[in-house]
């Protein structure tokens, strides 16, 4: 869990959008190894949090899809 005061200052390093904590359901959908993360305001990227440290590096970002899944 990220301190609320700190979370108010954290931003996406690429777009500078605010970040929010990922919900357990969102993390579960990405796999069992991911236990914490921060999602960009537009919902397109997740930055993992490892050992309580947000990995706010563009190469660490996990793309999230919001559209329908391919058939």
Would you give per-residue pLDDT tens digits along the chain (71 residues)?
Answer: 788 899 999 999 999 999 999 999 999 999 888 999 999 999 999 999 999 999 999 999 999 976 554 54
Pick the CATH number of 4-63 from 3.10.580, 3.30.1890, 2.20.25, 3.30.310: 2.20.25
Q: How many alpha carbons fall within 13 Å on the CB side of residue 45?
A: 18
pTM: predicted TM-score of the whole model, two decimal places: 0.85
Would you mind telling me the total number of residues written for the chain in this entry? Answer: 71
Cα–Cα dist 52/49, whole Å = 6
* Residues 36 and 48: beta-carbon distance below 8 Å: yes
Which residues pair with residue 37 across a beta bridge? 48
């Amino acid at each position: 869990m990220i301190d609320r005061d700190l979370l108010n200052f954290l931003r996406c390093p690429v777009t500078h959008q605010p970040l929010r904590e990922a919900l357990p359901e969102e993390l579960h959908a990405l796999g069992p190894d991911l236990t914490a993360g921060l999602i960009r305001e537009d919902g397109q990227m997740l930055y993992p949090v490892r050992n309580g440290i947000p990995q706010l590096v563009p190469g660490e970002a996990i793309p999230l899809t919001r559209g329908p899944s391919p058939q």
